[in-house]
């Protein structure tokens, strides 16, 4: 594979390692077994990604379908058959009718919903901006408790049925992981500390916007949850994360309590999870929610446009901190919308979460 002009791909999963770590230590083997195997699988895939990046591999095709001009997606869904070999058996191609496998159909639809938002709202032709074909593998491994973007394609587990259900159920999970690809091809934010938390937050932001766009929800109507419908009925919780109220997505006797902070006063200093990238992402997530609801209307139109301008504008450094990103959003709001309510909403949002603009 290619490193995409220096844009080193990062192995990104939707379920944070701290959640799987907790499950892996549970006394019930029905919970600990799948979690432990999922952690091992993630570690192996992460190592493969590093090796492929260093050694190099076959370049991924990055051309649009003939005659489409990049205005139509080129989706291919594969079935791993509960094995670990990627991509697996091809089961659905672009333009073919839905089959009997709901997981395949959801993956296909989710790839399309993500493509549509980026094209119709932001004028972006697929993940790389040049019509990159969208490939996804479903039914990966047995009881695999995650979904990931590996720098080339999407991969979905079926979950263990006890804690996590099928990972194709929430469209925002699909949008979240594919947005890691957009970040890979644009700002290429380093996956550690605050820049890593921004990387995760941007995936949550656009994952949520893809869900809102699909459902035609205004900022006021949206639930602002990431992964709603993913947790099994036995879990005391509604999603993996909440952008509206970070730290409240779940409070469960097995999973524990959602550790996300909503502001800098509660920033979590940790060496785990690449410096807490899935935890401290709650802070910029909350800022986006505050700005979007203050501006009102459809969040993808103004607040999403401001965030997209920063992500793709070329001024966001790979090691950007929260303050760097916040400053650029203020500048982007002023450049696009002037000194009106949009600018004030963005400034106030960062102030409310305790991030100073430079």
Q: Which residues form the catalytic set?
A: 177, 278
Long-range CB contact pairs, 213-220, < 8 A, 24+: 213/113, 213/116, 213/117, 213/121, 213/298, 213/300, 214/113, 214/171, 216/298, 217/298, 218/296, 218/297, 218/298, 218/299, 219/292, 219/293, 219/295, 219/296, 219/297, 219/298, 219/299, 219/303, 220/293, 220/296
Output phi, psi for 196, to 5 deg. -70, -35
Beta strands 75-79 and 89-93: pairing type?
A: antiparallel
3-state secondary structure 194-239: HHHHHHHHHHHHHHHHHHHHHHCCCCCCCCCEECCCCECCCCCECC
Token pair belonging to 267: 């920033």
How many CB atoms lie under 10 A from the CB of residue 269?
Answer: 8
Residues forming a β-bridge with 259:
none
Task: Count the neighbouring beta carbons within 10 Å of the beta carbon of residue 221.
Answer: 10
Q: Which residues is 242 bridged to in the sheet?
A: 225
Q: How far apart are CA 146 and CA 17, in angstroms?
A: 10
Roughly how many angstroms between the first and final C-alpha of the chain, as a whole number? 38
3-state secondary structure (DSSP) of residue 323: helix
Query: Quick one: the chain helix, strand, coil %, rounded to 5?
Result: 45, 10, 45
């Amino acid at each position: 594979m290619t490193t995409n002009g220096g844009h080193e791909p990062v192995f990104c999963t939707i379920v944070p390692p701290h959640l799987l770590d907790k499950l892996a230590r549970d006394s019930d083997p029905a919970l600990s077994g799948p979690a432990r195997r999922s952690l091992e699988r993630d570690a192996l895939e992460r190592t493969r990604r590093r090796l492929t990046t260093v050694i190099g591999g076959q370049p991924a095709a990055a051309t649009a379908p003939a005659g489409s001009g990049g205005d139509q997606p080129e989706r291919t869904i594969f079935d791993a058959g509960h094995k670990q070999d990627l991509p697996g058996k091809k089961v659905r191609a672009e333009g073919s009718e839905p089959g009997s496998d709901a997981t395949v159909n959801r993956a296909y639809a989710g790839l399309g919903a993500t493509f549509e938002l980026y094209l119709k709202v932001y004028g972006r032709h697929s993940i790389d901006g040049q019509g990159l074909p969208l490939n996804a593998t479903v039914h990966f491994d047995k009881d695999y408790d995650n979904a990931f973007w590996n720098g080339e394609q999407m991969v979905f587990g079926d979950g263990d049925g006890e804690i996590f259900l099928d990972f194709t159920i929430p469209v925002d999970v699909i949008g979240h992981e594919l947005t890691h690809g957009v970040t890979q091809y644009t700002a290429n934010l380093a996956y550690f500390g605050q820049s890593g938390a921004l990387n995760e937050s941007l995936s949550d932001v656009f994952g949520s916007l893809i869900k809102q766009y699909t459902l035609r929800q205004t900022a006021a109507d949206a639930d602002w949850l990431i992964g709603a419908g993913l947790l099994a009925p036995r879990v005391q919780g509604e999603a993996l994360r909440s952008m509206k109220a970070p730290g409240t997505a779940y409070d469960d006797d097995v999973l524990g309590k959602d550790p996300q902070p909503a502001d800098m006063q509660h920033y979590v200093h940790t060496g785990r999870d690449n410096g807490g990238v899935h935890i401290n992402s709650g802070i910029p997530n909350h800022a986006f929610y505050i700005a979007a609801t203050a501006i009102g209307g459809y969040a993808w139109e103004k607040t999403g446009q401001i965030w997209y301008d920063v992500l793709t504008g070329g001024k966001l450094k790979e090691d950007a901190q929260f303050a760097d990103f916040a400053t650029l959003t203020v500048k982007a709001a002023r450049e696009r919308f002037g000194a009106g309510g949009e600018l004030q909403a963005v400034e106030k949002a960062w102030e409310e979460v305790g991030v100073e603009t430079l």
